[in-house]
Amino acid sequence: MADKQAATDKKSNLLLDIRNLRIEGTVYPPGEPPKNIVIVHDVSLTLERGKVLGLIGESGAGKSTIGLSSMAYGRGGVRITGGEVILNGRDILKGGKQGLRKLRGHEVCYVAQSAAAAFNPAHRLMEQVVEATLLHGRATRAEAEKRAVKLFKALSLPDPEHIGERFPHQVSGGQLQRVMTAMALCSQPDLIVFDEPTTALDVTTQIDVLAAIKNAIRETGVAALYITHDLAVVAQVSDEIMVLRHGRLVEWGGTRQIIKEPRQEYTNALVSVHEIDHQEKKPGATPFLSVKNVTAAYGGGKVKVLKNVSVDIFPGQTLAVVGESGSGKSTLARAVTGLLPPEQGSITFDGRPLANKLADRPKEDLRQLQMIYQMADVAMNPRQTVATIIGRPLEFYFGMRGRERDARVAELLDKIEMGKGFGDRYPAELSGGQKQRVCIARSLAAKPKLIICDEVTSALDPLVANGILKLLLELQAEENVAYLFITHDLATVKSIADSIAVMYRGEVVRYGPKSEVLKPPFDAYTDLLLSSVPEMEMGWLEKAIKNRRMESAGN
Amino acid sequence: MSSPILKLVAQRVALGILLLLAVSVLIFAGTQVLPGDVAQSILGQAATPESLANLRAELGLNDPAYIRYFRWLGGVLTGDLGTALSSGQDIATSISGRLWNTLFLAFCAALISVPLAILLGLLAVRYRNGWVDKLISGLALASTSFPEFFIGYLLVYFFAVQWQIFPGISTVYDGMPFLERMQAIALPAAALTLVVLAQMMRMTRAAILNVMQSAYVETAELKGLSAFSIIRKHALPNAVAPIINVVMLNLAYLIVGVVVVEVIFVYPGMGQYLVDHVTKRDVPVVQAVGLIFAAVYITLNIVADIASIVANPRLRHPK
């Protein structure tokens, strides 16, 4: 704090000044010689002491790369090839390895997206939290641990006196994220780089972590670069926002200006994303798939993950299943597909009972139920071309061969708005959104009645995800296919669902047509879920925390 | 807190005992299938049919196989390994001194090779893909690629014949002064070290490099830790399990696979003893030594299993 005061007195309030930063990397495209690409094109930014700058953009925008350049760190072998990074009045790129080691963990600290992966599983939390502080001689062990406990308290971690004695696997994801924030604050740095610190968390947990981070920033007066792809999140914590795209600056301004009066078209697209106006369809007379009182468990009946769940799906409609991680929504999908045979209850399909076990189901039943996954790139064989991948169900279910199959593949590629030219490509040559489109085409090739979509847009950037949702809605209108849409994202639910089932700890707590489920009065959990979705509104966070009726499960 | 670990350990030990029993059945069955007749080999080709029959009855060879197996197993469990056919000596007595010699040699070789291999592995990771790494890997692989008898003879040629630092024949006896004993086994221990070094070193390198990809290594780097502290403090503890496994396999090799080296240096250990009696078709000795080697192998593997379990903080500190 004292240094900070002194610096202010020196009239130089500037902490970080990045000038014409250029970052390059080497890519290894399949079948071609490695080539150099520019990841960040001459980006400049400045950050004053105690201020928070949000860096926002889609994946590949270079936001993490720019954030890490403030520690002169190139992840995955990328190189800073031009420009200056001036921190506390000196160009850190000229400081050499020794200089960088003195700066990292001392002047600048880093909070990673996945704290669960960023903590060493072999050491206790306290050991890791005070490590940098001790390394840089910022305090004795006793002082550092005292400070850590104080930070744990400030970040409202449970049992702050003893949580440091735990190992990372003994603490939940949301708590770990806060411990990591404490770790960054412990050595009293001037700057913290937050790299998507809440992206991997459930909405209900995200709001707590976000509030904790915001408080900690305010109380310690540390400056921060806050990196995220979620504009609503960054609007809660930042003083200024910088929008990036393809490694170039798009727009930079005050938070209010960016979210209220964006000057660039791209910023406007980011701000207004998620707005699909989906008219709810009324449920038909008879559902074609009906899940009745299903109870399912793992570990030979020991861990009950589904308790007495009943839902119906009508032809050509979408049932959205929402809930946080561990609520049993993916398990419901596994029960419907037969991957996890239910212990009790039944699933009827087209008026007849569906065999519990996958192995007992006839091929026709398998064809009628298709699935799309969250991670499109691991759901495809990397050594098969797109045409082979989409053609496989045509051969398997319909025995199509040769020209007939190729024609159908071309038709399907057309449907997912990808040209014929994509047929010869390999999955590695596609973007994330294109990969997911191929997975959609593959499931559609079987002409199913139901497609189970398990978090299919969660790994995608908002604009790309939006395109996928629009495509799914169009395909539903054309093919009259029903979706069982599993997601944790309520904005997605509003865009696509006809009916909604809200799940909490293995039970369906609220179920009905979309308009009824989303109409007050809410039960406590649905209220928490709905009120936790960040809104693109300054001051939303404080309001939401104040009006909450129920503690989130992460606490 | 330690109850899941105790359970796992108990499971492994029980499994090991079961495995050892199965091996004893196999060894017994194997020696039964071999051609030849014990009575015949004791009495020689000139024996009369009556004396053969008498001896068979005396040795209990006419009893069914399972009765003979349990008799043999009962003897083993009470420390009676039987009598060597060729010399008529008690096997347990003649083995005990030799087993101790073999264990001592293996222990000394392990004491040198294990820390050396891990240290070299750490250094190779620290300077990965640089010349230090390539030199370490190259030398270690070269020493493994040479057959152990060749290494043995090279060592003898240089250290015993040319420079005369160490004896070429490793004679040891009871009551030998410690330093003299160490000097006697220097060359066989060096030969064994060179043979097992590379695998442990390469495995250490590979296991740590694998961990170096982890996000927590990046965290450590961003805290400003030096490259070597990152490897030692953050990578090594998470690479322990595969390293332990390969170390134990090599320790087992040091005891069980020591035959050739013992023969080269005329070292009075188990290997020499085994080779001598295999050539004499001395079935009881082969059975006894086989069982001891199997026990060593299984024990070390159980130790490796347990050590890797204990090295995992998730098991040591359940939720």
pLDDT in tens, B258-286: 888 888 888 888 888 888 888 877 888 88
Q: How far apart are CA A125 and CA A164, in angstroms?
A: 5
pLDDT at B49: 83
CB–CB contact A132 B317 (8 Å): no
The Cβ-side half-sphere exposure at A291, using a 13 Å CA radius, reads 28
Nearest to A465 by CA among A185, A275, A197, A254: A275
Q: Which fold has domain A2-271?
A: Rossmann fold (3.40.50)
Which DSSP string corresponds to A156-189? T-SSTTTGGGS-GGGS-HHHHHHHHHHHHHHT--
| Residues pairing with A54 in the sheet | A226, A241
Q: Do B214 and A73 touch (CB under 8 A)?
A: no
Nearest partner of B278 among B266, B267, B293, B289, judged by Cα: B289
Nearest to A49, CA basis, from A79, A16, A24, A73 = A16
H-helix or E-strand spanning residue A309 = strand A303-313
Q: Which residues contact A33 (CB under 8 A, 6 or more apart)?
A: none
pLDDT score at A555? 43
> Which of A97, A110, A126, A131 is the mutation pick for testing B, counting most B CBs within 10 A?
A131
Q: Dihedral, CA atoms, A434, A435, A441, A442, nearest 10 degrees?
A: 170
**Cβ atoms A54, A237 nearer than 8 A:** yes
On the question of pLDDT at B290 being above 70, the answer is: yes
Query: What is the average pLDDT value for chain A, to the nearest integer?
Result: 88
If pLDDT is split at 50, 70 and 90, which confidence band does B200 have?
very high
DSSP state at residue A423: G
**Residue extents of the structural domains in chain A:** 2-271, 289-519
Any CB–CB contact under 8 A between B216 and chain A? yes
For residues B84-96, give the mean pLDDT: 82
All residues of chain A having their beta carbon less than 8 Å from the beta carbon of residue B224 are 100-106, 132, 135-136
CA distance A228 to A250: 15
CA A82 to chain centre: 31
Maximum separation of any 2 CA atoms in chain B, in Å: 87
Cβ pair A117:B319 closer than 8 A: no
The percent of residues in chain B predicted with pLDDT above 90, rounded, is 29
Q: Which residues pair with A295 in a beta bridge?
A: A344
A:B CB pairs within 8 Å: 72
Q: Mean pLDDT across the stretch A116-129?
A: 93
pLDDT of residue A430: 85
Do the first three CATH levels of A2-271 and A289-519 match, i.e. the same topology?
yes
- To the nearest whole Å, the CA of B137 is away from the closest chain A CA by 24
Which stretches does DSSP call E strand in A394-506?
450-454, 482-487, 499-504
Chain B residues lying within 8 Å of A99, measured CB to CB:
none
Most confident of A481-485, A534-538, B65-69, B254-258: A481-485
Out of A2-16, B71-85, B207-221, B298-312, pick the least confident.
Answer: A2-16
Q: What is the mean pLDDT of residues B197-215?
A: 91
Cis peptide before A521 (omega within 30 of 0): yes
| Mean pLDDT of the region A451-476 | 88
Quote the pLDDT of residue A7.
45
Contact call for B226 and A100, based on CB within 8 A: no
CA pair distance A309, A291, nearest whole angstrom: 7
Q: Does the CB of B221 have a partner CB in chain A at under 8 Å? A: yes
Q: Identify the pLDDT of residue B171.
A: 81
Q: Is residue B314 less than 8 Å (CB to CB) from chain A?
A: yes
Region label for A187, one of left (φ > 0), alpha (ψ between -120 and 50) or beta (otherwise):
alpha
Of the two residues A20 and A521, the one the predictor is more confident about is A20
Tell me how close the Cα of B300 comes to any Cα of chain A, in angstroms: 24
Q: Calculate mean pLDDT across residues B174-182.
A: 84
Query: Residue A189: its pLDDT value, please?
Result: 94
CA distance B288 to B285: 5
Closest CA to A450 of A486, A494, A420, A417: A486
What is the per-residue pLDDT for B221?
Answer: 93
**What residues form DSSP beta bridges with A311?**
A291
Q: Is the pLDDT of residue B206 over 70?
A: yes
B-contacting residues of A 66-105, CB under 8 Å? 71, 73, 75, 100-105
Angle, to 10 degrees, between the axis of helix A386-398 and the axis of helix A402-415? 120
- What letters, b where the CB count within 10 A reaches 16 and e where it falls short, cover A1-37? eeebeebeeeeeeebbbbeebbbebeeeeeeeeeeee
Beta bridge partners of A35: A27
- When pLDDT is averaged across residues A323-330 and rounded to a whole number, the result is 84
Q: Does the structure show a pLDDT above 90 at A465? A: no
What value does the mean pLDDT take over residues A309-323?
Answer: 92
Highest averaged pLDDT of the listed ranges A377-381, A492-496, A508-512: A508-512
Spell out the domains of chain B, with CATH numbers in brackets: 96-280 (1.10.3720.10)
Name which of A117, A136, A170 is nearest B224 (Cβ-Cβ). Answer: A136
Q: Closest Cα to residue B109, out of B119, B97, B101, B120?
A: B101
Cα–Cα distance between B41 and B54 in angstroms, integer? 14
A289-519, CATH topology level: Rossmann fold (3.40.50)
Cα A167 to Cα A25: distance, rounded to the nearest angstrom:
36
Q: How many residues does chain B have?
A: 319
- B227/A contact by beta carbon, under 8 A: no
Write the CB contacts of B167 (distance below 8 Å, at least 6 apart in sequence).
B160, B183, B184, B187
For B302, the token pair is 């159980």
Q: Which residue of B has its CA nearest to A186?
A: B223
> Does B231 touch chain A if contact means CB atoms closer than 8 Å?
no
Q: What is the dihedral of CA A267, A268, A270, A274, to 10 degrees?
A: 180
| Optimal mutation site among A70, A71, A78, A120, interface B, most CBs of chain B within 10 A | A120
User: Which has the minimum average pLDDT: A19-23, A138-142, A373-377?
Assistant: A373-377
**pLDDT at residue number B2:** 53
Sign (positive/negative) of CA torsion B280, B285, B289, B290? positive
- CA pair distance A116, A175, nearest whole angstrom: 10
- Using an 8 Å Cβ cutoff, are A321 and A484 in contact? yes
Residue A510 — pLDDT band, cuts 50, 70, 90?
A: very high
How much is the pLDDT for B1? Answer: 44
Among A206, A271, A198, smallest CA distance to A232 is for A271
How many angstroms separate the CA atoms of A131 and A134, rounded? Answer: 5
Return the CA Rg of chain B. 24
The DSSP annotation for B210-227 comes to HHHTSHHHHHHHHTT--H
A294 in Cβ contact with A347 (< 8 Å): yes
Q: How far apart are CA A320 and CA A493, in angstroms?
A: 6
The confidence band for A273, taking pLDDT boundaries of 50, 70 and 90, is low
Question: What angle, rounded to 10 degrees, do the helices at A173-186 and A141-154 form?
Answer: 130
- State residue A165's pLDDT score: 92
Residue type, B78: T
How close, in Å, is residue A512 to chain B by CA atoms? 37
pLDDT tens per residue across span A400-429: 998 999 999 999 999 888 877 888 888 888
The letter for the amino acid at B285 is V
**CB-based contact (8 Å) between B34 and chain A?**
no
Q: Is A485 helix (H, G, I), strand (E, B) or coil?
A: strand
Q: List Cβ neighbours of A145 (8 Å cut-off, separation of 6 or more).
A: A126, A130, A164
